[in-house]
Amino acid sequence: MAQIASEALVQRLVDWEVDTVFGLPGDGINGIMEGLRRHQDEIRFVLVHHEEAAAFMATAHAKATGKIGVCLATSGPGGIHLLNGLYDAKLDHVPVLAITGMQETSLLGTGYQQEVALDKLYADVAEYDIMISNPVQIPAVTDLAIRTAYARRGVAHITVPNDIQVADAGADPWQHVAPASTPKTAAVYLAPPGLPSLEDLQRLADFLNDGDKIGILAGAGALHAREELVAVAETLGAPIVKTLPGKAAVPDDSPYTTGGIGLLGTKPSEELMDEIDTLLMVGTNFPYTKHLPQQVRCAQIEADPARAGARIPTELPVVGDAKETLRALLPLLKRRTENGFLAKYQHEMNTWREKMAALEDAGRDPIAPQYLMAALSKLAADDAILTCDSGTIATWAARHWTIRGERRFYLSGNLASMAPGLPYAIGVQQAFPDRQVIAFVGDGGFAMLMAEFLTAIQHQLPVKVVINNNNALGQILWEQMVLGYPEHGVRYPEPFADYAAFATANGALGAKVTKPGEVKSALTLALNHPGPALVDVNVNPAEPPMPGKVEYEQAKNFALAFLRGQPHQATIATTLMKDKIQQLRS
Ligand SMILES: Cc1ncc(C[n+]2csc(CCOP(=O)(O)OP(=O)(O)O)c2C)c(N)n1
Ligand SMILES: [Mg+2]
């Protein structure tokens, strides 16, 4: 059988060490599917149920492995479905390649069925975006697409008309008139040097040595620099604050961290930001500038020059990799002997941890979501990987999922989309078949892409799903109240859905939990189950994810919503009261 053009594309993916493609075919991409069929020993095709999920899976695969994630969809609607997941990759800066189908070249521009100009549609999301028009382009264009995705840490898109997909790989139907031949490129990416210049390093060291009360803000770009972060924090007596995507940068039980920042962060982190005179940002482009100090001297270690100094006035941005830069910086730093500042925040963190533990109350009925998250955190493995949806679940995970050992944590950080939790878990489990991978998701987010649980069953991926089922778009309920308005359009009508029944009906382990006493046994059963398992837990819809430090305006608007007729007032007030009493007792 002669090689078809699609094989040239697939062969190039193999050369780039791609071993998995997530996707869903259609008549616009059957030629590429034939290329994948012919090379199925080298690349696994994971057939999904919704293309959006395929893009989330590719994004998560890239986040967890550092290698390019690949997703595939057919022309028109399939390509449109990929977009949300691709924006997640773009906004969280991970390399993903999207391969889509296109109508055959003889029909382009004639308004044929499903004709959507995906190359134009993807112009905003993709760093590299090309429609193939000649089979001989394929090797070089694939190399450039993947290299660009790595270099710019974003999305590359190749769309292939379906007549070209099945053309001879070497077909070159046109006369060459340009004074060039097709480029002969290689499947190689060389990362830029990770170290700033020696002068920059010395300037950064002098700057930090000059600081008095120093805080470090670590983000996703510092996830691989745990040891170095801790060493710098110890040397400078500087507590580390973590963004949510950077949660696994330092263990939550480390004496050098004050935990998260922002609405779902901790009170000590907020206070630290108010007190410091010097801030060192490492691998973060934290967007919620209201939570960053405005009157401090700021230095930054950032891999992308375009993002250096992008959030607050930054006196000293240096461009470099977090790990390499911190490691080289360390011998230039003066060790502090007076550690009262750090000790103060260690003390505050102990108090904060006690306050959080007080909310993890096993006795509450309906079940407190904080208890559910904490129980899962206690029972899960030391190297478990948690994926999470956007919603109140993100707050519960931020505060009650403890990073210890080799644990990891992934969510849609900047796009903050609903529904990635489950497809993320599938993408990560695919890359790490032997790790415990758990999706902690909202009922709203889960329902959006719940068919992907079938994907896990069908591909024998033993992901565990824990649904924090409040039968509501909980996050939005609280957001509406903090605006000063009673909730509207955020609660699903009763009954609470039974997602466990969906799991069991399809051959997986499923457990529905409605009583607090059942939480631990159901979670233990699921975690010990060798295949996919789902625990659907009805939790208290009236449990608010309170900010670490409540501002006067927030409290005032909350009260205003009550006055304006907020439904379920008594239940909400009782929950708030119980939370307060529990914390006072701690
Ligand atoms: C695709 C998408 N649609 C809407 C939103 C706005 N949004 C953010 S969180 C949220 C509620 C999510 O509900 P659920 O998954 O049940 O989680 P909960 O907040 O109840 O824990 C909504 C609607 C979003 N972030 N993404
Ligand atoms: Mg919900």
pLDDT-based confidence at residue 563 (cuts at 50, 70, 90):
very high
Q: What is the pLDDT of residue 551?
A: 87
Give the ligand 1 atom nearest the CA of 389.
15
Give the distance (Å) from ligand 1 centre to CA of residue 473: 6
Rounded CA separation 410/397 (Å) = 10
Rounded CA separation 579/358 (Å) = 8
Rounded-to-5 percentages of helix, strand, coil across the chain: 45, 15, 40
Domain match, 545 and 425 both: yes
Give the number of whichever ligand sits closest to the CA of residue 87. 1
Report helix, strand or coil for 156.
strand
Domain match, 275 and 228 both: yes
Give the distance (Å) from ligand 1 centre to CA of residue 476: 7
Domain count, the chain: 3
Report helix, strand or coil for 537.
strand
Query: Domain end: 287, 317, 345, which one?
Result: 345
Query: Domain end: 146, 165, 184, which one?
Result: 165
Give the distance (Å) from ligand 1 centre to CA of residue 260: 20
Domain match, 416 and 460 both: yes
Q: Is residue 186 part of a domain?
A: no
Nearest CA to ligand 1 atom 5: 418
The side-by-side arrangement of strands in the sheet containing 297-302 is 257-260, 240-242, 214-218, 278-282, 297-302, 316-319
Could you tell me which residue, 181 or 401, shows the higher pLDDT?
A: 401
Q: What is the mean pLDDT of residues 458-468?
A: 98
Give the number of whichever ligand sits closest to the CA of residue 392. 1
Give the number of whichever ligand sits closest to the CA of residue 444. 1
Mutate to test the pocket of ligand 1, among 449, 465, 473, 491 (most ligand atoms within 8 A of CB): 473
Q: What is the pLDDT of residues 274-317, one digit of tens each?
A: 999 999 999 999 999 999 998 999 999 999 999 999 999 999 99
pLDDT-based confidence at residue 395 (cuts at 50, 70, 90):
very high
Domain match, 75 and 118 both: yes
Domain match, 310 and 369 both: no
What does 184-213 look like in DSSP terms, one character per residue?
Answer: ---S---PPP-PPPHHHHHHHHHHHHH-SS
Domain match, 48 and 152 both: yes
Domain match, 110 and 34 both: yes
| Among 415, 389, 387, residue whose Cα is nearest residue 92 | 415
| Among 259, 261, 270, residue whose Cα is nearest residue 353 | 259
Give the distance (Å) from ligand 2 centre to CA of residue 476: 9
Arithmetic mean of pLDDT over the chain: 96
**pLDDT of 586 over the 80 cut:** no
Give the ligand 1 atom nearest the CA of 442.
15
* CATH code at position 26: 3.40.50.970
Give the ligand 1 atom nearest the CA of 416.
25
* CATH code at position 258: 3.40.50.1220
Tokens 């009170």 belong to residue:
267
Tokens 């659907």 belong to residue:
536
Nearest CA to ligand 1 atom 25: 417
Q: What is the pLDDT of residue 4?
A: 98
What does 358-420 look like in DSSP terms, one character per residue?
Answer: HH--TT-SSBPHHHHHHHHHHHS-TT-EEEE-SSHHHHHHHHHS---TT-EEEE--SS--SS-
Q: Which helix H or strand E contains 20, and what residues bound it?
A: strand 20-24
In the chain, % of residues over pLDDT 90: 94
Q: What is the pLDDT of residue 548?
A: 85
Task: Please give all residues whose beta carbon lies within 6 A of any atom in ligand 1, as ranges.
Answer: 389-393, 416-418, 442-445, 468, 470, 472-476
Mutate to test the pocket of ligand 1, among 443, 475, 539 (most ligand atoms within 8 A of CB): 475
Domain match, 258 and 393 both: no
Nearest CA to ligand 1 atom 20: 474
Q: Is residue 189 part of a domain?
A: no
Give the distance (Å) from ligand 2 centre to CA of residue 471: 5
Nearest CA to ligand 1 atom 3: 418
Domain match, 555 and 435 both: yes
pLDDT-based confidence at residue 582 (cuts at 50, 70, 90):
confident
116: tokens are 């959507």
Give the distance (Å) from ligand 2 centre to CA of residue 381: 26
Give the distance (Å) from ligand 2 centre to CA of residue 377: 20
Q: Is residue 571 part of a domain?
A: yes
Give the distance (Å) from ligand 1 centre to CA of residue 381: 28
Give the distance (Å) from ligand 1 centre to CA of residue 418: 5
Angstrom distances, CA of residue 83 to CA of 52, 72, 340, 444: 7, 11, 50, 20
Q: Is residue 174 part of a domain?
A: no
Rounded CA separation 204/197 (Å) = 11
Give the ligand 1 atom nearest the CA of 470.
20
Domain match, 262 and 113 both: no
Give the number of whichever ligand sits closest to the CA of residue 471. 2
Q: Full-prediction pTM beyond 0.95?
A: yes
Q: Is residue 288 part of a domain?
A: yes
Angstrom distances, CA of residue 571 to CA of 366, 379, 540, 542: 11, 30, 9, 6
Query: Domain end: 293, 320, 345, which one?
Result: 345
Give the distance (Å) from ligand 1 centre to CA of residue 91: 18
The one-letter code for the residue type at 190 is L
Q: Is residue 190 part of a domain?
A: no
pLDDT-based confidence at residue 338 (cuts at 50, 70, 90):
confident
Nearest CA to ligand 1 atom 9: 391
Angle at 531 between CA 525 and CA 533, to 5 degrees: 50
Q: Is residue 538 part of a domain?
A: yes
Give the distance (Å) from ligand 2 centre to CA of residue 525: 23
Q: What is the pLDDT of residue 471?
A: 97
Give the ligand 1 atom nearest the CA of 441.
15
**pLDDT of 1 over the 80 cut:** no
Rounded CA separation 114/43 (Å) = 28
Give the number of whichever ligand sits closest to the CA of residue 441. 1
Determine the structural domain holding residue 430 and report its residue range. 359-585
Domain match, 206 and 122 both: no
| Among 403, 469, 61, 391, residue whose Cα is nearest residue 218 | 403
Q: What is the mean pLDDT of residues 185-213?
A: 97
Q: What is the pLDDT of residues 228-248, one digit of tens each?
A: 999 999 999 999 999 999 999
For residue 289, the 8-state DSSP code is G
Give the number of whichever ligand sits closest to the CA of residue 414. 1
Angstrom distances, CA of residue 249 to CA of 239, 257, 452, 468: 13, 10, 29, 25
Mutate to test the pocket of ligand 1, among 84, 440, 465, 476 (most ligand atoms within 8 A of CB): 476
448 Cβ contact list (under 8 Å, min separation 6) = 418, 419
Q: What is the mean pLDDT of residues 76-85?
A: 98
Give the distance (Å) from ligand 2 centre to CA of residue 421: 13
Nearest CA to ligand 1 atom 8: 391
The one-letter code for the residue type at 17 is E
Domain match, 476 and 426 both: yes
Rounded CA separation 500/51 (Å) = 24
The side-by-side arrangement of strands in the sheet containing 408-411 is 408-411, 385-388, 437-442, 464-469, 533-538, 509-513
Q: Is residue 552 part of a domain?
A: yes
Nearest CA to ligand 1 atom 21: 392
Mutate to test the pocket of ligand 1, among 81, 390, 450, 470 (most ligand atoms within 8 A of CB): 390
Give the distance (Å) from ligand 1 centre to CA of residue 68: 28
